[in-house]
Amino acid sequence: MAHEATMSPLAHADDHHGEHHESPNVFGFWLYLMTDCVLFGSIFAAFAVLRNQYAGGPSGKELFDLTNVGIETAILLFSSITYGFASLNALAKNKTMVLLWLAVTFVLGASFVGLELNEFSSMIAEGNGPDRSAFLSAFFTLVGTHGLHVTCGLIWMVVLMVQMMGPQDLSERMMNKLACLSLFWHFLDIVWICVFSFVYLAGVM
C-alpha cells in the first residue's frame, strides 16, 4: 500500500477521502443499468400500446393468477434483502457468510424463474403463447426480458461464488464485482415493481 501511495499520491488522497469512494467499474456498470432502463422503458411503452389488442384471444383477467404473481413478488423482495445481507457481510470481510447469503439469494432467484417458466409453459400449452395476440406478444416480450435478466443474474452469481471459493480473502476487485451484481439484482426488483403493477395488477382490473 505504501508503495502505491508513493506511486500515485492522488489515488492515496482519494482513499483517505472516504472508505466508500466508488470505483469507476461500478459507475460504468451504473451507466449500463441506465441504458437497460431505457430498454425496459421501450418494452413497457410497446406493452402500454398493445395491452388491449386481444385479437379475440384471452385478456389478462382470464390469464393471470394473482396468487402466483404475489408469490413471485415476495420471492424477489426476499432475494433483494438476502443479497443486501451478502453485501453487508462482504463489507465486514466475512466470506463464509457472503457465500451463504448468495446461495440463499440464488435459490430464491431460481425459484422465481421456475415459477415464471411454469406460468409461461402452461399459457403456451393452452394455446395462449406469444403468437396468439398482440397483447400476448407484448406480454411475453416484457416479462420474458425481465426473466432473462434474472437468469443472467443467477449465472453471474454462480460465477462469483465459484471465484470466491478457496482460502483467499475478498479482494478489492471481488468487492467491485459484488457491488455491480448488487446494483443489477436490486435494479431487476425495481423493474419487477413496474411489471406486477402495470402488467398483472392493471391487467386484471
Binding footprint of other proteins on the chain (CB under 8 A): 18-22, 27, 30-31, 34-35, 37-38, 40-42, 44-46, 48-49, 52, 66, 70, 73-74, 77, 80-81, 84-85, 87-88, 91-92, 183, 186-187, 189-190, 193-194, 196-198, 201-202, 204-205
Residue with smaller CB distance to other proteins, 42 or 168: 42
Taking the complex as a whole, how short is the minimal distance between the CB of residue 6 and other proteins, in angstroms? 25
Query: Minimum Å distance from CB 162 to other proteins?
Result: 24
CA distance 158 to 191: 22
SS (H, E, C) the chain: CHHHHHHCHHHHHHHHHCCCCCCHHHHHHHHHHHHHHHHHHHHHHHHHHHCCCCCCCCCHHHHCCHHHHHHHHHHHHHHHHHHHHHHHHHHCCCHHHHHHHHHHHHHHHHHHHHHHHHHHHHHHHCCCCCCCCHHHHHHHHHHHHHHHHHHHHHHHHHHHHHHHCCCCCCCHHHHHHHHHHHHHHHHHHHHHHHHHHHHHHHHCC
Contact (Cβ atoms closer than 8 angstroms) between residue 65 and residue 200: no
- Of 124 and 201, which CB lies nearer to other proteins in the complex structure? 201
Nearer to other proteins, 22 or 126 (CB): 22
CB of 127 to other proteins, least distance (A): 25
**Closer to other proteins at the Cβ: 110 or 189?**
189
**CB 124, min distance to other proteins, A:** 25
CA angle 198, 201, 205 (to 5 degrees): 110
Nearer of residues 81 and 124 to other proteins, judged by Cβ: 81
Output 140 or 187, the one with its CB closest to other proteins. Answer: 187
